[in-house]
Every structure is written in structure tokens, then in C-alpha cells.
Structure 1
Amino acid sequence: MRAIRRQRGWSQQFVGDRAGLSRGAIAKYEALDRPVDSRTTLYALAEALGVRVGDLTGEHQDQLDPSVAKFHASVADIEIALWTTGNTTPTGTVRTLTELATVAQHAAQLRRACDYAALGPLLAPLLTDCYRHTRDATGADRDIAWDVLSASAYTASAALKARGYSALAWTAAQEIERAAENIGGTAGPATAMFTRSQILLSRPGSLPTALDYAASAADRLARDVRTLGEIETYGQLHLQAGLVSAALGTDPTPHLDEADEQVARLQHAKKGSSILRNPTFGASNVTLWRMSAAMELREPEQVLKLAPCLAPETIKAPGRRAQYFVEIGRAHAQRRHYRESLNSILRAEYIAPQQVRGMNHVRELVGHMMRSARRDLATGDLGRLAQRVGVVPI
């Protein structure tokens, strides 16, 4: 912050006025006396300084992490597959739709486990073969091809967004929407709008649009939601709308309560034929999103009150299970309980290392603890964690 501000020739007061913060707050951030532990504050600072969020957070460190190198090496091929809609030079026999459905479901599992290194090389060939079936298949097979493509595009978009490729993730989200137009139902439109809203949530100035995408889609689709997959994807829209509401400083409760009501429908819902689902949606996940919303509202006590209500082993996806411990770690850090915070972050990293090491707020939190915690903590587990997340050089 200090380097960028001085390069601009701006005073702390000027940056504070642009960000809606006091000069004293800017001084504390620059002096490393206060962590930037709010999404809203981080976005305001990036906008005020006229830079990307990644310029403030060291997002480029993810590109250097050897554990996800295979994913980054695959991005160019994923890009070509999406840009050309699979119309590339043939390199082998196109797999059958049954084979592609199996691979698409395996890819989704890898994404939920945050194993991006294993996932990356699968995506471009999977998308390319799906595209070819959408052009060549007829009748029911063509509908299946579009369905498998929609699921594959969702996996690709979510993974790309998580690894910092927001523009390409948006392109993949558009392909979910295009597939949905060809297969009907509500799962496709719900997933496309959920994905767009997630991407926008990571961009400064985009929160009102992020909320509109999620909430408007939920309103539009509500009356037509019937199958298991449709309930799951519709419920995720309300979770997303609740999280964005909290990021905007408004009450997320109506959306989170609606998500709880959708959980009650799962037990009696028919399965449906589409493989486009969000099986992580359920009672445990709603509680976890309540914790995340409480952190957005800077309510660490509420996070720690909710945490014992949720047994982490009931959270199906490793990535979401890691998020549970990240939220607890953030809450403890806000209360200056650094030992408890470190233990929670380490548990999260053990569950999903590729995911946790790339989280901006984890980097910010670890950096703050390195400056504020006792020396014996900073030179032990915390110091080693700081190296792994890129806060200090190895």
C-alpha cells in the first residue's frame, strides 16, 4: 500500500478519503499494525489506489506454488478448448458419452477436494470431447452431451476462479448458460448465475451486481425447482445471495433461512437425469455459510458460537471442510487468540493445502500473526506456514 501510494504521489488522507476510511486507519494498515481482515475494506483500498486486489495481496504467489503447477500449465489448453468450443485439431478418438459423464463426475470430485493439480490436465480434453458430441450427436444423445458439457464447464469455471483466472472463469460460466438453453430445467441457469455471482464477489465494485445475479435468478427460478439437483443448485443461489448481502453489510438471514427450507426438501426430492448437481448442499453447508456470512459482518463471536453446532466430518467436500477451520481461524485472530487461530489454519491446510495456501485472507492473516504473535510462535509452526503461503521467502 505504502509503495503504491507514494508512487501515485498521494497522501494517506487522500487515500483514506477515496476509500471511505480515516487517515489513521490507512496509517495503521501501512505500518502493519492492523490486518485487512474485511473483504469490503480490501476492495475499497484496491479501488482507492487504482490497482487489482492481487497487487495488494500477493496473488501472484499462487503461480509459484509447485503444488498447483500442473493446473497453471493446463490453463492455455483450457483456454483454447473454451475459445474454439472444441473445434481444434483432432488428437485421438472421441470418448463415449458414458465415459465422459464418468470423467466429468470425477473432475467434480477433484474440484470439491481442491486437488487442482490432478484436475487441470483433465479439463481441456473433457471440454473438447463434450463439444464434439454436442455437434455430432442427435436426439437424446445430444441432450446428454449438453448436460455433461454444462457440468464440465461448471467444474472448469469454479477451478479457474479459485486459481485467479477470473476472466476465463467467466467464459466457462457463459458456456454453462449456453448448455442450459439446450437442455432445459433450472439446474443449468441456477449454476450459471451462482458461478457469475461468485466471480463478481471477488471483484471490487461488483458486489451489487453479484447480489442481483444470485437473488434475481433465485426469484425467477423458484416456482420451477423440483428435482434433487435443481433444489441443490437453487439452494446454493440463496447461500450465495446471503454471503454477498453480508459483504454489503446487509442482513443475510432471509436468504440463509430460505436455504435451510430447501434442505428440508432434499429428502423427498426425485433424483432427476442431469449430472449437473451440487451435492455439497445440505444442513452442514448452510451452517458453514452462516459462519462465512458472520465473518463478512465482522462478528467473530457469532462464528465461534456456530462452530460447535457443526461437526466438520459431516461436511462432504474437503474444500468446504477446510473452509470451516479457516473461518474459525479468522474469528480467533480477530479476538487476538493467535495460538487457536494458527491451530485452525493448520488443520485447514492439512485438509486442502492447494486451496488454503492460495487464499488471500489466509495470507493476510498469517502475515499479521507473524508481526503480532509471540516470538516462539512466529519461529515455529507459524513461520513455516508463512513460507508455504508465500508471506516470507523460503
Structure 2
Amino acid sequence: MTESIGDRIGRVRRRRGMTQEQLAEASGVSVATIRKLERNDRDSARMSTLRQLAQALGVRTTDLMQTGPIAPPVAPETDPAGILAVRRVITPARGLGRVVLADDTAEAPTLTGLRASLREGNRLYQGDNYAATVAALPSLLTEAAQLADLSDGDAWLAALKVQAQAYQLAGSTLIHLRHDDLAYQALSRAIDLAEQSGNQILAASAVVSLCWLLLRQRRFDEAEQVAVATADEIEPSFRHSTAGHLGTWGWLLLRASAAAVRNNRSPEAADLTRQAKAAAVLVGRDVIDYHEYWTTFGPTTVAMKEVENAMIQREFGKALALSAQVVMPRRSTSNNRNRHLLDLAAAHSEQRDYAQAVEILTGIKRAAPEWLRYQRYARDITVTLVARRKRDLSPQLVQLADFLSVEV
């Protein structure tokens, strides 16, 4: 019989010689929650709750997480509009002899035209226009494959590079839309193509995106190991490396740090962040190179991730203090910027500054509504705000709740 999360918590707790009340006091998780988990009244828990329990029990967060078989869904999953066309390109139908490819385009694609299409796709993605990005992906991926098939020599290597970038765009978009398995296939293909083209930094950039996916799937051990191993492979020469190289290396360290802190490995997380900060100091300012390595990296990026790590460790006052070091990016649709703002909203909520939390969330909704719509973190914060302000809901909080489908 598969051991549940609650079974595992109870087993480790008893091995430590702790009562439920002692575990509650040590972790900050209520006795009622611990009892519900151990009785299997609840079959899941928030990641922050699992981390608190793991820290109190002296184990990794992943040690408490479900590892048994996953029950089949109640009903078949359906693809939203546009995703099926992307799925057909990334996972084409095939028989015994060959893959059934999509129809050829009317005209043979050119490298110049494909690069222009890729830039437009990146612009749509960075602008949070996910519907338009999804609509553009099938033809972009198909044309990239056709160009590689038609090319040879240096032109073939250049075509492979663009094809890898197109698959990374697809993978990143699919992560946002929570199509994890399809995103994994796209990013795995991006890594293969980039390595085949001889561009190791481009391949490592796709690994950065893949580690983001692993974090979303709570695969913390794997995310940390893959990120550190890849960082070791591309370790830069600090005197001669480009900003793109330093940025990709720095992002790998930040992904490893994010995995470590979520897995109750705070000293390792702090050390990895220090290394990333050293790279950021050399870069000097946040460099944006979305069309090359999907890299926005510099001191501001690292400062925002330090705030995120403090939030994971539930050090809310420290998170707000660290936020004073962050120079906010101007671009309102910056994913890093808006993820950082969610951390600030959560910190203010935990410090009982509810009005400020609502103001921050409302600002994100105004600036990047399509991005916010897909953020479970934003919904969790709003659920907490509604519960704590049930008798005094402001119009702004009601609007946020409606937008994020939170009951009031």
C-alpha cells in the first residue's frame, strides 16, 4: 500500500520521539493541520507547510512528499484552443516507418525570416500575450524544422540554433499555461538541438527553463543536481566571458538555490546565491538578451531572488528589508518583477499590512493581467486576504477575488 504524505509525517514524527503538539510548536503548523494530514483527512499540503514540517523534523522537504503512483484523473484532460496544434508539432503522430510531419509551408523558409518570426514570438511571450504566442508556435516550429532539413554546413548549424530557441520559447510558454509534460518535451528537444549546433550556452539556457519546470513539479533534488552539474559544465572565465555566458551561469545557480531552500537546505541555498551574486557584480547591471539566451540577469535579479528565498524560509521581515535593495525593472510585464511583487504582497499580508498587500496585487492586475491569471501564488495570497478580512472586504479585494476565482 502506498504511503501517503500524512503517513510519512507521522512515521518521521514518531521516530523523532515528538508528539503532534511538539511538532506543531517546533514547526509553526497548527495541531489541527498535522492531525488532518496524519489521519489522511487531507491528501496534500501547501509546499510552505511541508517545508516547515521538514525543517522541524530535520529532513528534506522531498522526504515528506508523495512518491507513490498518481491516481488517474476523474475526467480526460482537454486542451484549450491552440494547444492541440502545438501538441501535433511537438508530439507528431507516427507509424512504423516515419513520423507524420505537418504540411510543408508554401515557400521554403529563410534564416532571416525565421529569426524575425522568433523575435516576434519572443515579443509576444514577454508581453504576456500567451494566446498569440500559442497561435504563432506551430508554424514557427514547423518552419524551423524545415529550414534545418534544407540546410547544410554552417547554415545547418545556424538553423539548429534558431530551432532550439523556438523550442525553448514553446517550452516556456507551456510552463506558464501549465502543460508540464508537453513543456518538458519541448525543452528537452531544445537542449538536444542546441548541443547539436555546438552552442553550449544556449543548451544551458534551456536547462535553466527546464529547472524552472522541475521546481514547479516539486522535484527539488533533481532541479538542484541538474542546475549545479550544468553550471559546472559551463563555468565561465570571469575575466573573458560574455554577459550572456555569466547570466546563464548565474541563473543556473539561482535555480539550484531555489531548489535547495525549498528542500530545507538553507546553507547550500545561501552559498549558491553568493556565487550568483559574484557573477551579477561582474555583469554590473541587469542585461536583457531574450532573443539569444533568454537571459535577464544582474544585481537586481539576484536581489529579487534573495527576497524569494527569505519568503520560502518564512522570514517576512527580512524579505521586506531585502526588498529595499531591489531596483524595480521598468517593464511592467517582466515575469521576475511581478513574481517579486507577489512575494512583497505575501510578506505584507503575513505582517498584517493587508491594505498594502491588496494594493500590490491590484497593481500587478492592472499591469500584467494575463500573467497574473495563471499564478497560483497570487490566488493563495488572495485566499488568505479574504479569510483574514472576511468582515471588511474592500472593493479592490473583491475585484481581485473575482478575477482569480476566489470565493468571498
TM-score, normalised to structure 2, is: 0.78
CA distance in 2, matches of 1:94, 1:73: 28
Task: Identify if the C-alpha distance between structure 1 residues 185 and 14 changes in structure 2 by more than 3 Å, giving closer, same or farther.
Answer: closer
CA distance in 1, matches of 2:67, 2:214: 18
The equivalent of 2:90 in structure 1 is 82
Task: Give 2:307's aligned amino acid.
Answer: M
The equivalent of 1:369 in structure 2 is 385
The equivalent of 1:322 in structure 2 is 338
Larger relative contact order, structure 1 or 2 (CA cutoff 8 Å, min sep 6):
1
Task: Identify if the C-alpha distance between structure 1 residues 41 and 355 changes in structure 2 by more than 3 Å, giving closer, same or farther.
Answer: farther
Deviation at 1:329, TM superposition (A): 0.5
Give me the identity figure in percent: 20
CA distance in 2, matches of 1:15, 1:178: 38
Deviation at 1:14, TM superposition (A): 5.1
Question: Does 1:47 find its partner at 2:66?
Answer: yes
CA distance in 1, matches of 2:299, 2:203: 23
Task: Identify if the C-alpha distance between structure 1 residues 98 and 18 changes in structure 2 by more than 3 Å, giving closer, same or farther.
Answer: farther
- Asked if the contact 1:386/1:392 (under 8 Å) is kept, the reply is yes
- Asked if the contact 1:81/1:127 (under 8 Å) is kept, the reply is yes
CA distance in 1, matches of 2:196, 2:278: 29
Task: Identify if the C-alpha distance between structure 1 residues 325 and 340 changes in structure 2 by more than 3 Å, giving closer, same or farther.
Answer: same
Deviation at 1:189, TM superposition (A): 2.6
Task: Give 2:336's aligned amino acid.
Answer: R
Larger radius of gyration: 2
The equivalent of 1:244 in structure 2 is 259
CA distance in 2, matches of 1:12, 1:128: 43
Q: 1:106 aligns with which of 107, 117, 120?
A: 120
CA distance in 2, matches of 1:106, 1:308: 35
Question: Does 1:338 find its partner at 2:354?
Answer: yes
Structure 1 window deviating more from structure 2 (119-128 vs 43-52): it is: 43-52
Deviation at 1:93, TM superposition (A): 2.4
Q: 2:271 aligns with which of 254, 259, 262?
A: 254
Q: 1:17 aligns with which of 6, 10, 21?
A: 10
The equivalent of 1:386 in structure 2 is 401
The equivalent of 1:190 in structure 2 is 204
Q: CA RMSD in A?
A: 3.7
The equivalent of 1:181 in structure 2 is 195
Deviations 1:80-119 (A, max 9, x none): 1112489312243243211211221222233233221221
Question: Does 1:233 find its partner at 2:275?
Answer: no
Task: Identify if the C-alpha distance between structure 1 residues 220 and 13 changes in structure 2 by more than 3 Å, giving closer, same or farther.
Answer: closer
In structure 2, the residue corresponding to 1:90 is in which secondary structure?
Answer: coil
TM-score, normalised to structure 1, is: 0.80
Structure 2 unaligned runs (5+)? 14-22, 25-30, 53-60, 93-98
Q: 2:376 aligns with which of 352, 356, 360?
A: 360
The equivalent of 1:3 in structure 2 is none
CA distance in 2, matches of 1:82, 1:48: 28
Task: Give 2:325's aligned amino acid.
Answer: C
In structure 2, the residue corresponding to 1:280 is in which secondary structure?
Answer: strand
Deviation at 1:317, TM superposition (A): 5.4
Task: Give 1:74's aligned amino acid.
Answer: G
CA distance in 1, matches of 2:113, 2:105: 17
The equivalent of 1:156 in structure 2 is 170
Deviation at 1:315, TM superposition (A): 6.2
Task: Give 2:318's aligned amino acid.
Answer: Q
Task: Identify if the C-alpha distance between structure 1 residues 238 and 107 changes in structure 2 by more than 3 Å, giving closer, same or farther.
Answer: same
Structure 1 window deviating more from structure 2 (315-324 vs 165-174): it is: 315-324
